[in-house]
Amino acid sequence: MDLSREHCEVHVQGNWEATMCAPDRVPEGDPFDWWHDRLGEGRRKWLRDLPFSHDFLMSGKRIRVFHASAKSVFHRVFCDHDEAEFLGMFANTEATGSGPVPDVVAYGDIHDPYLENDLGRTLVNVGSVGNCLGDPTPSYVVLEGVSGSAAPGPFSVQFVRVPYDVEAELAVTRALAMPSAEYWEGELRTGLYRANQRDGRPAAYHRHRGCNA
């Protein structure tokens, strides 16, 4: 988080930031209290004050980024959504504000990268750097085009996978005595979400014809 604050110009709030950093948060027990306390009030306030979404222009396309959906950081839209859910990702809401409707939406939340083009719109899930599910290799997206330009121009979406040192990450986790470290290890090694690990549920195929990544 500190590196992100140092190097990134734009941040948007996610569901964990909204939950973990709420001023009226009630202690829940480990591991949530452990994470909450390690952040400290200064970082929690910064996370609490992050904007819901960010809009910008690139190569004549209006682009919007947010965490989960146009409704809230808690409303989840998976790859196998229907048409109404797809269109809802591009809608203006109380959360996004009443600016121009986007042509491209990029979001995170589900930790499952994909791209869908339909009805003149492009929906992108960027995956996750720290906890990518399905394939545990960290994923992020690069949008390439003419930044800030309202004129039509070249535009592309690139998915990038970058392996990193899982053993080093787990060594730090053990040194810090992080609660529920066994689930974190399972996610990093296998890409299987901790709830699936806990309940003994294997990963299931979840694509549909509109998704590509």
83 lies in the same domain as 157: yes
In a domain, 23, yes or no: yes
95 lies in the same domain as 138: yes
Angle at which helices 181-190 and 166-176 cross, to 10°: 170
In a domain, 209, yes or no: no
60 lies in the same domain as 158: yes
- Pick the last residue of a domain from 13, 36, 51: 51
62 lies in the same domain as 159: yes
133 lies in the same domain as 43: no
Distance CA 64, CA 113 (A): 17
In a domain, 194, yes or no: yes
In a domain, 213, yes or no: no
In a domain, 204, yes or no: no
Distance CA 150, CA 194 (A): 43
60 lies in the same domain as 146: yes
83 lies in the same domain as 153: yes
In a domain, 101, yes or no: yes
Q: Using one digit for the tens of pLDDT, what is the confidence trace for 40-60?
A: 999 999 999 999 999 999 999
pLDDT tens for the 213 residues of the chain, in order: 999 999 999 999 999 999 999 989 888 877 889 999 999 999 999 999 999 999 999 999 999 999 999 999 999 999 999 999 999 999 999 999 999 999 999 999 999 999 999 999 999 999 998 888 888 999 999 999 999 999 999 999 999 999 989 999 999 999 999 999 999 999 999 888 888 888 888 877 666 555 555
45 lies in the same domain as 60: no
77 lies in the same domain as 180: no
- Give the range of the structural domain holding residue 24, as residue numbers without chain letter: 1-51
In a domain, 208, yes or no: no
In a domain, 17, yes or no: yes
Q: Which pTM value belongs to this model?
A: 0.91
Exposure string for 140-165, b = 16+ CB within 10 A, e = fewer: bbebebbeeeeeeeebebebeeeeee
72 lies in the same domain as 158: yes
139 lies in the same domain as 186: no
pLDDT for res 75: 97
91 lies in the same domain as 25: no
What single-letter amino acid sits at 184? W
- Structural domain total, the chain: 3
pLDDT for res 198: 86
